[in-house]
Amino acid sequence: MKRLGILLLTFVCFQSCDSDNQVSSLDMVQTYLVATPIKANLKEFKEEAIAITEPVPMQESGKIYAYKNYIFINDVNRGFHILDNTDATSPQNIAFIKLEGNYDISIKNDRLFADSYGDLVVMDISDINNISLITRMDGAIYEEFWCTVGFDVEWPQGQVDVFDYTDFDSSTEAITGWDIKEQKLTNEEFESKFGYNPSGRDLFAVNDSASGSGVPTSESTTGQGGSFARFKIVEDYLYAVEPWSINVFDISNLDEPKVLEEVYAEGNIETIFNQGDILFLGGTQGMYIYDISAPDKPTYVSQFTHGRACDPVVVSGGYAFVTLRANNFCGDSAESGLYIVDVSDLTNPTLSKTYPMTEPYGLGIKDEKLFICDGPDGLKVYDKTDIDNLVQLNHFEEINTYDVIPLANSLLMIGDKVLYQYEYLNNEIQLLSTFDLN
């Protein structure tokens, strides 16, 4: 939860020469702005967070995922738009999966796995026109969700002195807003209610008195995500990463996933990519390598450390390709660019080459072509045959780019509410279609 600074109030007290009339600091009354959660029944709140609807306009484009002839495009925190991509020159928007509190999906054999407010949701998409919910596993992922807060709830920035969770039960209730009122309290009353003395130390705007939990094979068909994916299916296991941990699920029975022991990671993890039985995790301070030869227990191997920055990673052969984007919420102690890391020795990854970039986001690889979404500087395509001398093949300028998925026959790229598709040519790529999701 967010920690907001408390406004310190200055009071002028007039003291009497008569000691009998002096006021103890414990009796001094101060006025505080207190934010109390507006609550809803948690079960009903989550039931209302899922629905299958007709296509709707995109609000904020996020990650993309490809499965069979369909493309799933995340509308951040709201759900996924489904496009029928049977004809890549003319994709059709066919439905919207309303799934509030969602960022990621992964699909195997017509079972869609997704996150929603820290829960794992499983859906049957075998009939794309009749999608159904199979199960919702409460609190299965994302430990930071100690409570459920509606994705559209605005936090009272700088307006309040303290948040009061005294009467809030995170196991049965969700937060749908805030009731902000003045309360007059002595220091003693404040300490009794919120657990600390406001005059004894710097105040912070969280009262945690309410505790809560929240805490592909030839015989199967598995979809493909982009480089910003936090979900990854490898054989019969689903890995879902979050800051500082890897959630592991046994999905050998697709309709009844089993929650396995969580693995605590060596860094603040943002993305996941696998090459065989090796996981490469991108984090704000480095790339982390884990061995999943024992798939139920990812084992730490090594890491490549860099300055603080956002860090998706893809791997081809003996090299990991990492884009670092600095001067943002991830950090500002690294230079934005493409970092090529030699991972031929998994126990000792070493930096081989760097290339400056403007504001790089996602990236992908198809054979010897390397695709980089350089934010507002467009989509860049390189021949990576010689990593010491990348050759630029294309530069699609004047488009805002976020992430790519290199499919067998075409490239998918998501920008600002627009899906772009390109066909591969010998030494370049060529635009096939654009689809505006507004």
List of E strands, 217-256: 224-225, 231-234, 237-250
Pick from 235, 234, 259: nearest CA to 248: 259
- Reduced to 3 states (helix: H, G, I; strand: E, B; else coil), residue 134 is strand
Q: Which residues is 65 bridged to in the sheet?
A: 72, 225
Q: Report how far apart, in Å, the C-alpha atoms of 263 and of each of 18, 122, 241, 298, 331 are.
A: 65, 22, 10, 7, 25
At 261, list the tokens.
Answer: 């022991």
Q: Report how far apart, in Å, the C-alpha atoms of 132 and of each of 50, 100, 313 are.
A: 10, 16, 33
- The per-residue pLDDT for range 193-212, each reduced to its tens digit, is 777 666 643 333 344 333 33
At 36, list the tokens.
Answer: 């109390």
Rounded Cα distance, 148 and 102, in Å:
12
User: 422, 431 in Cβ contact below 8 A?
Assistant: yes
Q: Is 436 exposed, middle or buried (0-12, 13-18, 19+ CB in 10 A)?
A: exposed
At 169, list the tokens.
Answer: 């039960």
Alpha helices in 24-85 (DSSP H): 42-47
Q: What is the value of pTM for the model shown?
A: 0.81
Rounded Cα distance, 260 and 297, in Å:
9
**Quick one: DSSP state of residue 5?**
B
User: Which pLDDT does position 205 carry in this prediction?
Assistant: 39
Rounded Cα distance, 135 and 120, in Å:
8
Q: Are strands 105-108 and 111-116 parallel, antiparallel or unpaired?
A: antiparallel
- Which segments of the chain have a pLDDT < 50? 1-26, 200-219, 329-331, 333
Q: Which residues is 369 bridged to in the sheet?
A: 366, 383
In terms of phi and psi (left: phi > 0; alpha: psi -120 to 50; beta: otherwise), the region of 89 is alpha
CB atoms within 10 A of CB 60: 11
